[in-house]
Amino acid sequence: MARFKKRIATSQEIPTSAMPDIIFILLFFFMVATTVREEKEDLVDFSKPEATQIHELNKSLTRFHIYIGPPKDSDKYGSAPRIQMNGALVSPSQIPQIINTNIENLKQGSKSKSKIHIVLTVDENAKEGIVTDVEEQLKLVRTRNIVYSATQYTTGQ
């Protein structure tokens, strides 16, 4: 039997030369797949209701978000549902002004009110009264396209 001399010439280190490439791939993924955080942290809690006739809002459409639900900081704001818009708790009567300012800030050409959608994310346990108050204000500024945020109906009947 012939004996071969074992050579331990191979490097013991893990090659790290490909690491920058891997990290860059991850980096590019996050750059492409994510958007810059716009809305401040949600001040209200909500669980979306379920519905079957779900419509997905086209990405190119201008939309404003309104959140309605019990405040997270219930010590400070109480537990009754409140309205959050532009990262602050507002009263219904402030909504027309906020919407008008938001429209002012929009790029020229996308100011057509018929194309603006209001995404109403309402906690499923909130009462309709507050939703109606918001809707009445939306009618005043003639932004009448609304989407009641909902998730696809899953549980069986």
Partner 1 sequence: MFGKEKTRKDNPEVNSSSMADIAFLMLVFFLVATQIPVIDQGVKFLLPKKLEDNKPPVDVDPRNLFKVMVNSGNKLLVEDERLEFDQLKEKAKIFINNRGRDPEQSDSPKKAVISLRVDRGTTHKYAIRALDELKAAYHELQAEYLNMSLEEFLLLDESDPLDSKLIRKAKDAIPMRLSKAEPTR
Distance CA(48)–CA(45), nearest Å, equals 10
In angstroms, the CA 81 to CA 66 distance is 13
Among 89, 90, 103, 146, binds partner 1 (CB under 8 A): 146
* Residues within window 37-76 making contact with partner 1, judged by CB under 8 A: 37, 48-49, 51-59, 63
* Nearest 10 degrees: Cα torsion 134, 139, 142, 143: 40
Does 148 bind partner 1 (CB under 8 A)? Our answer is yes
Length of the chain: 157
Q: How many Å apart are CA 124 and CA 44, to the nearest integer? A: 13
Backbone angles phi, psi at 93, to 5 degrees: -70, -15
Considering only the stretches 5-13, 85-93, 99-107, 125-133, report the one whose residues sit in contact with partner 1 under the rule CB under 8 A: 125-133
Does 9 help bind partner 1 (rule: CB under 8 A)?
Answer: no
Contacts to partner 1 by CB under 8 A:
16, 19-20, 23-24, 26-27, 30-31, 33-37, 48-49, 51-59, 63, 117, 119-120, 122-129, 131-132, 135-136, 138-140, 142, 144-153, 157
